Each structure stands twice: as C-alpha cells, then as structure tokens.
C-alpha cells in the first residue's frame, strides 16, 4: 500500500497519502464520534469555462453551468441512481458546485466501506445519454428560475456582477437556460476526462473509522481503474484584480416586501494558496469583525438607528484569481444602509472599534471559534479539502491567527479598504423587475 504520512496537532491526527494515479487522500480519525463524513472533490468549478489539454492546439470553451450540470448527472447511471445506493446503505449523500470546486459527499454511521466504494465509483464512472441529458436540462432550468426568484441570491450575484463584469465568477453557478441548452453528452465526457482525473482530486474522510482499513480500501478501489497518466491541464480563465472594469452602482427591482443593499470591495492583490495568503485572509476577516462585529459600537449604533437588522452580514471571499469583501442586508431604503456602510469604511481609522485592545479580545474569540469548529466533522472536512489544493494545512491556522498583530490589521485595512475598488448594488421593493445602470 502507498506510504502513509501523519501529522498531529490541535488534539487532532491527520493521515495522508498520494496514490500512484495522483489522488490525494486525507484521513482524520475521530474515535469518540458515531458518524463518518467523506468528501470527494475536484478542483473544477463554475469559473473554469475554458481549458486546454496536451492533445489540444486551442482552448476549448464550455457552456456556463457545465460544472454544476456534470455534478447533477454523475449520480444518474444506466441501471442505478447513486442516491438510492447510499440510502440502502444507511447514508445521506449530497453534492455542491462552487466557483472553483465540485464536491460529492456522504455521511453515515454504518457500512462506511460500502459507502466509500459507492462514492469513488459513481464519481469516477460517467454515464450520459442524449435522453438523460435533455431531461436534466428541464430540471436544472427550474433550479435556475428558483434562484432568479431568490432576492438574497440576486443581491449576492448582483454585487459580483458589479465587481467582476468581465470575469466568469459573476456568472450563476448553474448557468442560464440558454447556456445549458448547449450541453451535450460529449461536452460532459470531455470535461470529466479533463478535470476528474485523480491527480486533480482530493478525498477527505473524517470520523470514526480505522485509518489503515480505509486507506487499504481506497488503494484497492483505485488500483482497479485505469485513468492513464495525468496530462497537461491549462485553464483559460485568468485572475481579475482590475479596478477599471468595476461597475460603481446598479439596481434591480423585485416583488419583495423589504429592500436590500450590499457594498462590495474588489481585492487588488493576488493571494496565494500559501501561508501568506492564509494570513491575509484571516486578517481581513478579523478586520471585518473589528469594524462591524455585533460586539462593537458601530454595529450597536447602526442597529439602534434601524440601519441594520439581523439580516446584516459581512464576509471576505478568496478564490482562484480573485478576492473581495461583501457586506449588506435589508433596509426599507437600501441607500441609507449602503451610504452608512461606505461612510464607515471611508472613516474606519477614526472608528471607536478600530483599536488594539478590541482586536486582542476578538483574536481570542476567533481562536475559540476555530477550536470549536473542530467538533464538526463537516467543518474539518471542508477545511482540510480547501487547503489541499495549496500548501497550507488545517494545523497552520492557529499559529497564523496567533501571529497577527493590530499593526497587521492596519496594513491589510490600508490595502483592501480602497474606495476606488468599491461598488454598491440595491434591490428595490417593487412589483416589476428590471435592471437599471447608473
């Protein structure tokens, strides 16, 4: 069997191996738990709309929504449905597609070996016909329409459209009814062959299981399959840190009871999947908590004035070639909300919350939240998987958090709280729908 390597820390143990076909596996045993959670992930998401392999002279462009469409279709086989197999084995299963990854998962308390084989086999054994692909277009078309009717989703996609109008991250993960109409079985086979090679994938298993037994099972499962050598895979999408493309303001009207507003700030610095990138991301999230967290004076002032309510949120997102801040929520007059947030951003240095003492308290709280997240199998699996495509691990996070000083927060604030990189999107409460650009 392939050699196992072990890492320990945080009261956790992670055993890893890389199989001859390139598949990276991480096993995190949790003996005191009843459940086991497994996640099988490919580094292929909605932004990967063009690619080239070693046999291609030119880039192949694929329809928007192809990664999500493939996620749906892999469960459906000629003589079985993977959901049914998991159900018979006593497991619950699911899958999701993001901008940069597609993940397939199950959780269960029994028959873990059977369920792992099901997971590996259905993801790696594609089956598509003209009839089943056409049927799926109708199903996903309904899902697309459902998201179009979701004001929260439209708010988020709206600010992405402002910040990244020329980058595919602004496109709906599911695509459009028009784009998925172009998907064929041949398209699905081509992208599966390119992006679902084991060398572009990671398997993470967390829970109550014997590491050596599971490692042997996965090794035997993969040894029976012939994927061929990992070839060149070049992605056509590039990074986007360009300020010139930002749309400063757009507005959408929808038949909703309460209007919404969101402020976005486009990151202009490339963040690597390394310790420095992790450090920047953690610092930026601490910055948002420092300025807008619910224990601060700014939050209390805006809440008491009715500018924000329980719908208020802040987030920092980084992906392959992009990163951004988003904050917003509901307000009868979204201009009042977004103007207040922009004012707080513009004058953050004079905020009563922006000080070293408050930061020291919040850092302790952030460390506590991180350690608490290790009680969740799902959280561990997601964190391990996300770091697997870079050079950091789950065990790096506490040390990175501990090392961040208030001076670091000040430096990151000066870097990312750039008014030239800022954009605003509103959803007004009306009965007609349309987009207007300022």
For residue 86, the SS3 value is helix
Sheet holding 313-319, edge to edge: 313-319, 322-330, 260-266, 422-429, 249-254, 434-437
Q: What is the rounded CA–CA span in Å between residue 169 and residue 320?
A: 10
Q: What is the rounded CA–CA span in Å between residue 141 and residue 377?
A: 33
Residues 6+ away with beta carbon under 8 Å from 285 = 316, 366
For residue 110, the SS3 value is coil
Q: What is the token pair recorded at 72?
A: 């749906």
71 is catalytic: yes
Q: What is the rounded CA–CA span in Å between residue 24 and residue 17?
A: 6
Of the candidates 327, 324, 358, the one whose C-alpha atom is nearest the C-alpha of residue 342 is 327
Contact 88, 275 (CB under 8 A): no
Residues 6+ away with beta carbon under 8 Å from 31 = 208
Give the count of beta carbons closer than 10 Å to the beta carbon of residue 253.
17
Give the count of beta carbons closer than 10 Å to the beta carbon of residue 289.
22
Q: What is the token pair recorded at 141?
A: 């078309």
Q: What is the rounded CA–CA span in Å between residue 125 and residue 225?
A: 10
Q: What is the token pair recorded at 391?
A: 């050079």
Q: What is the rounded CA–CA span in Å between residue 406 and residue 388?
A: 29
17: enclosing H helix or E strand = strand 12-18
In 3-state terms the chain splits into helix, strand, coil percentages (rounded to 5) of 45, 20, 35
Q: Which of 3, 12, 71, 186 is catalytic?
A: 71
Of the candidates 432, 349, 7, 348, the one whose C-alpha atom is nearest the C-alpha of residue 211 is 7
Left, alpha or beta for 235 (phi > 0: left; psi -120 to 50: alpha)?
beta
Q: What is the rounded CA–CA span in Å between residue 14 and residue 395?
A: 10
- Looking up tokens 């909300």 gives 337
Sheet holding 5-9, edge to edge: 5-9, 12-18, 24-29, 201-207, 36-42, 102-108, 92-97
Q: What residues act catalytically?
A: 71
């Amino acid at each position: 069997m392939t050699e196992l390597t072990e890492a320990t820390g945080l009261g956790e143990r992670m055993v890893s191996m890389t199989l001859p076909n390139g598949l990276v596996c991480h096993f995190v045993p949790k003996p005191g738990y009843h459940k086991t959670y497994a996640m099988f992930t490919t580094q292929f998401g909605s932004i990967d709309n063009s690619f080239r392999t070693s046999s291609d002279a030119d880039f192949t462009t694929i329809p928007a929504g192809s990664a999500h469409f493939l996620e749906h279709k892999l469960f459906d086989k000629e003589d079985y449905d993977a959901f049914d197999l998991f159900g018979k084995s006593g497991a619950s299963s699911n899958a999701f597609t993001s901008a940069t990854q597609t993940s397939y998962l199950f959780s269960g308390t029994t028959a873990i070996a059977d369920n792992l084989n099901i997971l590996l086999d259905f993801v790696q054994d594609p089956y598509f016909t003209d009839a089943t692909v056409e049927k799926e277009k109708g199903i996903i078309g309904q899902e697309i329409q459902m998201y179009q009717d979701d004001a929260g989703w439209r708010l988020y996609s709206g600010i992405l459209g402002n910040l990244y109008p020329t980058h595919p991250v602004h496109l709906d993960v599911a695509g459009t009814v028009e784009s998925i109409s172009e998907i064929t079985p041949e398209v699905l086979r081509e992208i599966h062959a390119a992006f679902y090679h084991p060398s572009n994938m990671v398997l993470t298993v967390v829970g109550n299981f014997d590491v050596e037994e599971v490692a042997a099972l996965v090794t035997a499962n993969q040894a029976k399959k012939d994927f061929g050598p990992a070839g060149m895979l070049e992605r056509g999408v590039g990074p986007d840190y360009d300020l010139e493309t930002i749309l400063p303001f757009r507005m959408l009207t929808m038949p909703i009871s309460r209007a919404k507003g969101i402020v976005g700030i486009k990151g202009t610095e490339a963040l690597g999947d390394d310790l420095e990138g992790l450090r920047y991301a953690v610092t930026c999230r601490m910055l948002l908590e420092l300025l807008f967290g619910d224990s601060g004076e700014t939050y209390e002032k805006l809440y008491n004035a009715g500018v924000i309510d329980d719908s208020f949120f802040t987030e920092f997102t980084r992906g392959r070639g992009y990163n951004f801040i988003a904050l917003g929520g509901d307000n009868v007059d979204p201009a009042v909300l977004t103007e207040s947030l922009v004012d707080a951003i513009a004058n953050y240095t004079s905020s009563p919350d922006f000080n070293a003492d408050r930061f020291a308290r919040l850092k302790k709280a952030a460390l506590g939240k991180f350690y608490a997240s290790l009680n969740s199998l799902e959280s561990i699996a997601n964190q391990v998987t996300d770091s697997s495509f870079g050079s950091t691990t789950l065990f790096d996070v506490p040390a990175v958090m501990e090392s961040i000083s208030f001076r670091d927060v000040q430096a990151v604030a000066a870097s990312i709280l750039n008014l030239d990189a800022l954009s605003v999107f509103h959803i007004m409460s009306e009965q007609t729908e349309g987009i207007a650009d300022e």
